[in-house]
Amino acid sequence: MASNFENSDGSLDETPPRPGDAAGRSDETAAREVLSVLDADRRVLADRIQTPAWYYPLLALATALIIGSPGAGIPGQFLLVAFGCIGIVFLSLAYQRVTGMTVTRTAGPKSLAAVVVLGIVIFLLLGVSFALAATGYPLWIGVTATAAFAVMWIGGRLYDRAYWQELRRGR
């Protein structure tokens, strides 16, 4: 996101002022101005990428389809995984269209920790689902799918909150 700076003639320039420029500002004053503009841009960006309310319930549903798939048997399992994956792809595209942004990495240590914990829990729930299917308890897989739904919805919101705070504060 580019920041606009006003030139002495009133026109806008997208390059930051240089220390000791024609306006006679000191290096320290110019640096403070640039940092202030960067801080304002970061806050605008954080406000812009807030996740829509519908995102995490739909992501949780797609996750539950994948986690619950071992209970559906061979033909149904592939369909549930396919629908879950396709749902995640379309959900990501919808998020990008609504916000105009794509988030490809965490903003700091708290959001990273949230993603790691969320990934581990979901992976363990998938393992439990496969174990239940392999040991002849496919009806209990509904419990793991429901747990995955809740974990993704709540964990996603916690990740979102951590990400937003880290982005607003600059980590």
* pLDDT tens sequence across 3-48: 444 555 555 555 555 554 545 557 888 777 777 777 777 667 766 6
* Domain boundaries of the chain, sorted by first residue: 5-48, 55-169
Give me the count of residues in the chain.
Answer: 171
What pLDDT does residue 40 have?
73
Task: Please write the tens of the pLDDT for every residue from 94-139.
Answer: 988 888 877 777 778 998 999 999 999 999 999 999 999 999 998 8
Task: Please write the tens of the pLDDT for every residue from 58-102.
Answer: 999 999 999 999 998 888 899 999 999 999 999 999 988 888 877
Q: Which conformational region is residue 72 in: left (phi greater than 0), alpha (psi within -120 to 50 degrees), or beta?
A: alpha
What pLDDT does residue 30 have?
78
DSSP 8-state symbol, 48: H
**SS3 category, 13:** strand
C-beta neighbour count of 6 within 10 angstroms: 10
What's this model's pTM, rounded to 2 decimal places? 0.72
What pLDDT does residue 51 have?
85
- Sign of the Cα pseudo-torsion (159, 165, 170, 171, in order): negative
